[in-house]
Amino acid sequence: MKKTSDKWYFTKETNAKGLCYIYAYQTQWDPVAKKSKRSARKYVGRLAADSVVNITAKFRSEFPQYAQGTFYFGLDKTLVDEAAYRRDFPDAPGPKPAAAEMDTALWDTRSLGFTWALEQLAAQSQVLEHLREIFKEDARSLLNLAIYKLAGGNSMAAMEDWRASVYLPHGPALKSQR
């Protein structure tokens, strides 16, 4: 096979839960099959609801042109800055200059029953107090992680999205890098 080109292409893949991920790939010509095939593939990051690509630190280090700034998945399947994205998608979701003035707090809907019940169970059984004795300031975060796992959560990367859809009255959100 011929040498792989230096050009990287981008593609979007959606998993069964509806989460979108961006991958970079290279192609090379296969003379036997007489067609182009993917020769290399790298994970870029997750596509957020506001169309921002949350680029991983590893990808940013390997591709310094994406080390600084916010990037969107553009019309031509490339990573573009916000100005180019707004030019291609003027009515697209995401932060708009005038949106900062609007009060969107009333638009939020959150699930409460399951998380509330587990909070009450933890309080009645003194689980949180026992966690505080051992883990100190991380106790609340660990309890929230346990609630997330009991609610059917899988990856830590999805915990932030889950937390935005439920009511958890206490404690900071855990980061997936922790």
**DSSP string computed for 64-122:** GGGSSS-EEE-TTSSEE-HHHHHHH-TT-SS--GGGGGS--GGG---B-HHHHHHHHHH
Q: What's residue 21's pLDDT?
A: 94
Residue with tokens 């003194």: 126
The 3-class secondary structure across 110-150, one letter per residue, is CECHHHHHHHHHHHHCCHHHHHHHHHHHHHHHHHHHHHHHH
Q: What's residue 61's pLDDT?
A: 92
The 8-class DSSP code of residue 176 comes to T
Q: What's residue 16's pLDDT?
A: 86
pLDDT band at 118 (very low <50, low <70, confident <90, very high): confident
Q: Report whether pLDDT(107) > 60.
A: no
pLDDT band at 71 (very low <50, low <70, confident <90, very high): very high
Q: Which has the higher per-residue pLDDT, 97 or 7?
A: 7
Strand 79-80 versus strand 35-47 pairing type: unpaired
Q: Report whether pLDDT(102) > 60.
A: no
Average pLDDT over the chain, rounded to an integer = 81
